Amino acid sequence: MLVTMNGVRLSYGRWPALDKIDMEIRQGEFVVISGASGAGKTSLLRLIWMGDRPDSGIVDVSGFRSDRIRKVELPQLRRKIGIVFQDFRLLHTRTVFDNVALPLQVTGTGNRIVQKRVISLLARMGLSHRRNAFPHELSGGEQQRVAIARAMVAHPVILLADEPTGNLDPEVSMEVVELLLEINRAGTTVVMATHDPRQVPAGKGRFLFLDKGVLRGADRWTELDSDS
């Protein structure tokens, strides 16, 4: 099991964000977490990359347990995870190439390997011609593809996408979802949080539903998924 959550509860101050979360994600799955704004989707993803620790319960990601992981081990965990955000979070003073290369540079990867991997990934994302551009010179769709490339460049075992289509028009959104499905087909586990699960075609993933911090109807969505 790649991700396991047992009896997880998370609150921000007095406000509960997630409660009684029991969940498992297997290697190679495409998991869609849906729910309204404020339902706790982002909090759930933050628990996976351990941006937050649960108040109670245990989160286990690829052998890193939330109750045991030390601060110095967090970077090791995060190198196994790629993260894509709704607002892209690109460094605006750096080129497309430098943004994508960042996860490799922070691990001390040699320059030749960085060049090779980034150039090949940009080609796969259809961004070769934009490698020297700065983020503000790109369209929303291009920026999100750069963010996905950055998330994928270090070959993560799991890709977390937090409302990756939230700032994009429907046509570009479809392209981004298709890109995520393609990444999943290549073997990477993908967890996508979205307020609109219809973006992912039925049968292409496992659907979970968050309602006010509680994971509901997971079985139903799973059944629906497998029925289809």
Partner 1 sequence: MSLVKSALREISLNLHSRPGARLVTLLMVALAFIVFNTFLIISWNLQGIMDREENLVGMEVFLYRGISQAEGRLIGDHISSMQDVKSVYFVSPQEAEALFRADLPGRADLLDVMGTDFRLPASLQIVFETEAISQGRISELSRQIGAIAGVEDAVYGEDYLPGLLKTVTTIRRLVILLGIVLVSSISLVVFYTVRLSVVRRSLTVDIMRTVGAPWWFIRIPFVVEGIFMGVTGSAGGLALAAILSKVLSSAVTHRFMPMSWITLVILLGAVTGTVGALAGSYEKER
Binding-site ranges for partner 1 (CB under 8 A): 49, 51, 71-72, 74-79, 81, 83, 89, 91, 93-94, 102-103, 105-111, 150, 154
64-65/56-61 β-pairing: antiparallel
The C-alpha angle 223, 226, 228, rounded to 5 degrees, equals: 105
Nearest to 142 by CA among 156, 199, 150: 150
Nearer to partner 1, 30 or 49 (CB): 49
Nearer to partner 1, 152 or 176 (CB): 152
Q: What letters, b where the CB count within 10 A reaches 16 and e where it falls short, cover 54-84? A: beebebbbbebebeebeeeeeeebbbbbbbb
- What is the rounded distance in angstroms from the CA atom of residue 21 to the CA atom of residue 29? 19
Could you tell me the smallest distance in angstroms from the CB atom of residue 45 to partner 1? 11
Could you tell me the smallest distance in angstroms from the CB atom of residue 104 to partner 1? 9
Tell me how far the alpha carbon of residue 132 is from its chain's centroid. 25
Could you tell me the smallest distance in angstroms from the CB atom of residue 222 to partner 1? 29
Nearest to 115 by CA among 107, 130, 105: 105
Nearer to partner 1, 24 or 55 (CB): 55
Nearest to 161 by CA among 222, 170, 173, 103: 173
Could you tell me the smallest distance in angstroms from the CB atom of residue 137 to partner 1? 17
Could you tell me the smallest distance in angstroms from the CB atom of residue 180 to partner 1? 17
Nearer to partner 1, 27 or 111 (CB): 111
Nearer to partner 1, 45 or 179 (CB): 45
Could you tell me the smallest distance in angstroms from the CB atom of residue 150 to partner 1? 7
- What is the rounded distance in angstroms from the CA atom of residue 153 to the CA atom of residue 163? 20
- What is the rounded distance in angstroms from the CA atom of residue 86 to the CA atom of residue 95? 20
Q: What is the DSSP letter of 150?
A: H
Q: Which residue has the tokens 């369209």?
A: 139
Nearer to partner 1, 73 or 211 (CB): 73
